[in-house]
Amino acid sequence: AQKVTQAQTEISVVEKEDVTLDCVYETRDTTYYLFWYKQPPSGELVFLIRRNSFDEQNEISGRYSWNFQKSTSSFNFTITASQVVDSAVYFCALSEVATGRRALTFGSGTRLQVQP
């Protein structure tokens, strides 16, 4: 069965520090998608990135970057020069394609607190 593990429950950093959020996944499917979502204190789920299992290229979007490594089943997320507005709960998630189970399986989330 599919599983997503975010071992870091909570991380606290000072503004302008870099921070990496870890995500490890398990799946038997050869075709799957990985996601990161942000949940700010207001509660909505904000889409950050979607990556398919055949694309291991790292991605950078402004201060955000993602490192996908199939060899270690990891999809880590780095925020460079963190800001107070980055304070939120971040979720890594997985959806499988071949099994037809298109629902997302979420990790338990990592709460990031950025102190001014």
Partner 1 sequence: DTAVSQTPKYLVTQMGNDKSIKCEQNLGHDTMYWYKQDSKKFLKIMFSYNNKELIINETVPNRFSPKSPDKAHLNLHINSLELGDSAVYFCASSPLGTGGRGYTFGSGTRLTVV
- Name the residues that contact partner 1, by CB under 8 A: 33, 35, 39, 43-45, 47, 50, 89, 91, 95, 97, 100-106, 108-109, 111
| In the complex, minimum distance from the CB of residue 77 to partner 1, in angstroms, rounded to a whole number | 16
| In the complex, minimum distance from the CB of residue 1 to partner 1, in angstroms, rounded to a whole number | 12
Nearer to partner 1, 13 or 104 (CB): 104
Nearer to partner 1, 100 or 116 (CB): 100
Long-range contacts, 81-84 (Cβ 8 Å, 24+) = 81/16, 81/17, 81/18, 82/13, 82/15, 82/16, 82/17, 82/18, 82/19, 82/112, 82/114, 83/15, 83/16, 83/114, 84/15, 84/114, 84/115, 84/116
| In the complex, minimum distance from the CB of residue 81 to partner 1, in angstroms, rounded to a whole number | 25
| In the complex, minimum distance from the CB of residue 79 to partner 1, in angstroms, rounded to a whole number | 19
